[in-house]
Structure 1
Amino acid sequence: MALAIFQFPCLSDNYGVLIHDEATGRTASIDAPDAAAVTAALAEKGWTLTEILTTHHHPDHTDGNLALKAATGCTITGPDYEADKIPGIDRKLREGDVYDFAGHPVHVIWTPGHTLGHIAYHLPEDGIAFAGDTMFALGCGRVFEGTLEQMWQSLTKLAALPDETVVYCGHEYTESNLRFALTIDGANPALVARGEEVKKLRAAGKPTVPTTIAAEKATNPYLRADDPAVRATMKMPDAPAAEVFAAIRTAKDNFK
Structure 2
Amino acid sequence: MPLEIVTIPCLSDNYAYLAHDPATGATAVVDVPEAAPVEAALAERGWRLSDILITHHHQDHVGGVEALRDAHGARVVGAAADAHRLPPLDLALGDGDSISIGAATGRVLDVSGHTVGHIAYHFPDSGVVFTADSLMALGCGRVFEGTPEMMWASLSKLAALPPETLVCSGHEYTAANGRFALTIEPENAALRARVAEVAVLRAEGRPTVPSRLSEELATNPFLRAGQDAVKRGVGMEGAPDADVFAEVRARKDRF
Identify the residue that residue 118 of structure 1 maps to in structure 2: 118
Percent identity over the alignment is 54
For 1:215, the equivalent position in structure 2 comes to 215
Which residue of structure 1 aligns with residue 41 of structure 2? 41
5+ residue gaps, structure 2: none
1:94 is matched with which residue?
Answer: 94
Give the corresponding residue for 1:82: 82
Task: Tell me how far 1:92 sits from its aligned partner.
Answer: 0.4
Distance 1:226 1:106 in 2: 28
Query: Given that residues 65 and 87 in structure 1 are in contact (C-alpha distance below 8 angstroms), is that contact kept between their aligned partners in structure 2?
Result: yes
TM-superposed CA distance for 1:59, in Å, is 0.6
Query: Residue in 1 aligned with 2:6?
Result: 6
User: Which deviates further from its counterpart, 101-110 or 160-169?
Assistant: 101-110
Partner of 2:23: 23
Q: TM-score by structure 2 length?
A: 0.98
Shift of 1:226: 1.9
The SS at the match of 2:222 is helix
1:109 corresponds in structure 2 to: 109
Kept in 1: contact 2:184–2:234 (CA 8 A): yes
Decide whether the 8 Å contact of 1:65 with 1:88 is kept in 2: no
* One-letter code aligned to 2:108: V
Asked whether the 8 Å contact 2:80–2:93 carries over to 1, the reply is yes
Question: How many angstroms apart in 2 are the aligned matches of 1:227 and 1:168?
Answer: 24
Amino acid at match of 1:99: I
Asked if 1 retains the 8 angstrom alpha-carbon contact of 2:21 and 2:104, the reply is no
User: 1:206 is matched by which residue type in structure 2?
Assistant: R
Residues 66 and 87 of structure 1 are in contact (CA less than 8 Å); yes or no, is this contact kept in structure 2? yes
- 1:196 counterpart = 2:196: yes
Residue of structure 1 equivalent to 2:180: 180
1-structure distance, mates of 2:21, 2:234: 46
Match of 1:150 in 2: 150
- Structure-2 separation of matches of 1:240 and 1:2: 38
Are the counterparts in 1 of residues 23 and 103 from structure 2 also a CA contact under 8 Å? no
Once structures 1 and 2 are overlaid, which stretch shifts more, 16-25 or 46-55? Answer: 16-25
Residue of structure 1 in register with 2:205 after alignment: 205
- Aligned position for 1:129: 129
Which region of structure 1 is more displaced relative to structure 2, 37-46 or 121-130? 37-46
For 1:88 and 1:20, how far apart are their aligned partners in 2? 23
1:88-141 CA deviation, whole Å, 9 max, x = no partner?
Answer: 211101001011221211111000001100000000011111001101110000
Partner AA of 2:210 in structure 1: P
In the TM superposition, structure 1's runs of 4+ consecutive aligned residues that sit over 3 Å from their partners are none
What SS does structure 2 have at the residue aligned with 1:125?
A: helix
Q: Secondary structure at the match of 2:22?
A: coil
Is 1:254 matched with 2:250? Answer: no
- TM-score normalised to the size of structure 1? 0.98
Query: What is the distance in 1 between the residues matched to 2:225 and 2:3?
Result: 34
Comparing 153-162 with 81-90, greater Cα deviation is found at: 81-90
Distance 1:5 1:177 in 2: 24
Q: How many residues align?
A: 255
Letter paired with 2:243:
E
Tell me the CA shift for residue 48 of structure 1. 1.3
TM-fit CA distance, 1:180? 0.3
Q: Which residue type is aligned with residue 98 of structure 2?
A: V
Gaps of 5+ in 1: none
Alignment root-mean-square deviation, CA: 0.9
Partner Cα distance (1:99, 1:81) in 2: 16
C-alpha deviations, 1:49-90, integer Å up to 9, x for none?
A: 111011001111111111111111111000111111111211
